[in-house]
Structure 1
Amino acid sequence: MTEVEPLPSRPSAVIFDMDGLLLDSERAILDCFREAASEQGADIESDWWLGMIGLGDAVCRAMLVERIGTPATDQLLERGHARYIAMAEAGLPHRPGVLALLDLLALHRIPCAVATSTRSPLAQRKLAAAGLLHRFAHVCTSSDVAQPKPAPDVYLLAARRLGVEAARCVVLEDSPTGVRAALAAGMTPIQVPDLLTPDAEARSLGHRIVASLGAAQALLVPHLALR
Structure 2
Amino acid sequence: MAVEAIGFEPAAVLLDMDGLMLDSERVHQECWREAAKQLDLDVDDELFMSLVGLHEDDQHERLCEQLGPEKADPLIERCDALFTKRIEAGLPHKPGLVPLLERLAGAQVTRAVVTSSVCEHAWQKLETAGLRRYFDTVISGSDIDSPKPAPDIYRLAAERLGVDPARCIVLEDSEPGVRAALAAGMHPIQVPDLVQPDEALREMGHRIVESLEQAGELITPRL
Fold shared by both chains (TM-score > 0.5): yes
1:25–1:92 Cα contact (<8 Å) kept: yes
Q: What is the CA–CA distance in structure 2 between the aligned matches of 1:41 and 1:155, rounded to whole Å?
A: 40
Q: Which amino acid aligns with 1:186?
A: G
- Alignment correspondent of 2:221: 223
- Alignment correspondent of 2:47: 48
1:108–1:224 Cα contact (<8 Å) kept: no
- How far the C-alpha of 1:223 sits from its partner, in A, is 1.3
- Alignment correspondent of 1:132: 131
**How does the TM-score come out when normalised to structure 2?**
0.97
- How far the C-alpha of 1:130 sits from its partner, in A, is 0.5
- Alignment correspondent of 1:143: 142
1:17-70 Cα deviation digits (max 9, x unpaired): 000001010011111011111222322211321111111001101110011110
Q: For 2:204, what is the secondary structure of its paired residue?
A: coil
RMSD: 1.1
1:181-219 Cα deviation digits (max 9, x unpaired): 000110000000011111111111110000000000111
- Alignment correspondent of 1:32: 31
- Alignment correspondent of 2:179: 180
1:76-134 Cα deviation digits (max 9, x unpaired): 01100000011112110110111111111111110100000111211110111101112
Q: What is the CA–CA distance in structure 2 between the aligned matches of 1:4 and 1:14, rounded to whole Å?
A: 18
Q: Which amino acid aligns with 2:146?
A: Q
- How far the C-alpha of 1:10 sits from its partner, in A, is 1.1
Q: For 1:5, what is the secondary structure of its paired residue?
A: coil
Q: For 1:190, what is the secondary structure of its paired residue?
A: strand
Q: Which amino acid aligns with 2:26?
A: R
Q: For 2:118, what is the secondary structure of its paired residue?
A: coil
Q: For 1:52, what is the secondary structure of its paired residue?
A: coil
The equivalences for 1:96-111 within 5 A come to 96-111=95-110
- Alignment correspondent of 1:73: 72
- How far the C-alpha of 1:177 sits from its partner, in A, is 0.8
Q: For 1:223, what is the secondary structure of its paired residue?
A: coil
- Alignment correspondent of 1:204: 203
Q: Which amino acid aligns with 1:184?
A: A
Q: What is the CA–CA distance in structure 2 between the aligned matches of 1:138 and 1:127, rounded to whole Å?
A: 11
Structure 1: 5+ residue stretches without partners: none
Count of aligned pairs between the two proteins: 223
2:189–2:215 Cα contact (<8 Å) kept: yes
Q: What is the CA–CA distance in structure 2 between the aligned matches of 1:149 and 1:138, rounded to whole Å?
A: 18
Structure 2: 5+ residue stretches without partners: none
Q: What is the CA–CA distance in structure 2 between the aligned matches of 1:161 and 1:131, rounded to whole Å?
A: 24
Runs of 4+ in 1 over 4 A off after TM superposition: none
- Alignment correspondent of 1:17: 16
